[in-house]
Every structure is written in structure tokens, then in C-alpha cells.
Amino acid sequence: MRRLQAFVDGELQGADRIHVARHLADCASCGSEADLLRDMGDTLRRAAAVEPAPLGLAGLAGG
Amino acid sequence: MFLRVFRTLHQFRGQSTLKTWIYRIVVNQASNRRRWWRRRHISQQVALDDPATNIQPIDSRIFASPDRVLDEREIAARVRGALDTLPFDQRTVIVLREIEGLSYDEIASSLGLAVAREVAFGPGPPTAAGTTGGTYEEPRLHKGE
């Protein structure tokens, strides 16, 4: 599971990444688990929707 | 917070990236603020199963359907409730990863920790000889294995 989370997070490199990607191509169970992890991340980001910046300050943080 | 960063900028030694150094200041400030808040508002804390009356509304311009807005608010309330059950450090890691998009190394640096490679990534893949020092076992990706 930790490797799957690291894969979904884009933290696996090289052979590790290829190995997990190959496994996911053949394993529906792990594929569903990976989708669930992605959905949880999406849900967290939506839940963290922030208030828009005051009019005069909009755009300052984005560089 | 920007003022705090500006005032302490001369202390930056270049031992990490400026980005993670700033995050570290933010995390420390958040931790201090949390302790301050808990000391002063302990009696005003709301139980997790109370109606989510203090949840900030999600910008309605993003979601056209009122049903969708309601669903998103309920989900947001549940997510925040779940996050609130976590210790501060764990919650910080999740926020830095999922919301701020920091890498594992950046998070570790921001928190003054080291990434435990084996813990974070599991055992490595097989080498040409089929093993990595005898510790690798075939993919331990499934739950409960």
C-alpha cells in the first residue's frame, strides 16, 4: 500500500515506477485502490477550497 | 507571516530550499497558533459530530447546482472532521502533500524530518538477479499482504 501511495503521489522513480505501473495494468484490485487514493486527494483539495483573495490583492501570490 | 519570513530571512543558511524553509516557518507558526488557540478557547471547542455550522462555504460560482454545493459542503465537513481527528503533525503532512503539493522530501525538510525510504516506498524492485539483498518480496501492493 505504501508503494501504491508513493506511485499515486508521483514519488516512485525508475524501475520502481515501471514495476508498479505494470502491476496496475494487470491487477483490477490495485487499480481500484489507486483510483480511490486519487479520489481522496481530489476530495481533500476540493474541501480545502479557499476564500478568494480581496480584490486588490488578487494575483499577488501567484507571482 | 510574510513579515515573519522577511524578518528572519537573514537566518536562512541555504541548507534547504527557500521554499521548504518558508514552509517550516509556517508550520511552526501554525503549531504555535494552535497551542495558543487551544489554551484560550478550550471551552469553545465543538464536537466533531456537531452540525458543521462553522464550515466556510465553498465558492458557489464553481458549482452551478445547489445539490452539488450541498454535497460538496457535506463532504468538506466530513473531510475537515476527519483531519481534525489526526495529530497535528500527521494533519500537517497530509495538507502539505495533498493540498500544497509538496514532495515527500520537501515535506520532510519543512518539518525537519528525514524520509524513511523503506517506510515511504517499500522494498525496492527486483534487480537482475531477482533480489535486493534478500529483502524484496513480490509486489506487496495488496491490502493485508
- What are the pLDDT digits (tens) for A31-49? 999 999 998 888 888 887 6
pTM: 0.57
The residue to which cell 472532521 is assigned: B81
ipTM value:
0.72
Contacts of A4 in chain B (CB under 8 A): 141
Q: Pick the more confident residue, B73 or A29.
A: A29
Q: How far apart are CA B101 and CA A9, in angstroms?
A: 9
Listed as ranges, residues in chain B with pLDDT below 70 are 1-6, 34-64, 117-145
B95 C-beta neighbours (distance < 10 Å), count: 18
Residue B79 distance to chain A (closest CA, Å): 7
Residue type, B111: L
Stated length of chain A: 63
pLDDT at B144: 43
Rounded mean pLDDT, A17-37: 93
Per the structure block, which three cell numbers stand in for B72? 460538496
Mean pLDDT, chain A, whole residue set: 80
Which of A30, A46, A50 to mutate to test binding with chain B, by most B CBs within 10 Å of its CB? A46
**Read out DSSP for B3-58?**
HHHHHHGGG--SSS-HHHHHHHHHHHHHHHHHHHHHHHHGGG---TTS--TTPPPP
Rounded mean pLDDT, A47-62: 54
Q: Does residue A24 contact residue A34 with C-beta atoms inside 8 Å? A: yes
pLDDT at A35: 92
User: Which residues, other chains included, contact A50 with Cβ-Cβ below 8 Å and sequence gap of 6+?
Assistant: none
pLDDT at B5: 67
Which of B59, B92, B104, B121 to mutate to test binding with chain A, by most A CBs within 10 Å of its CB? B121
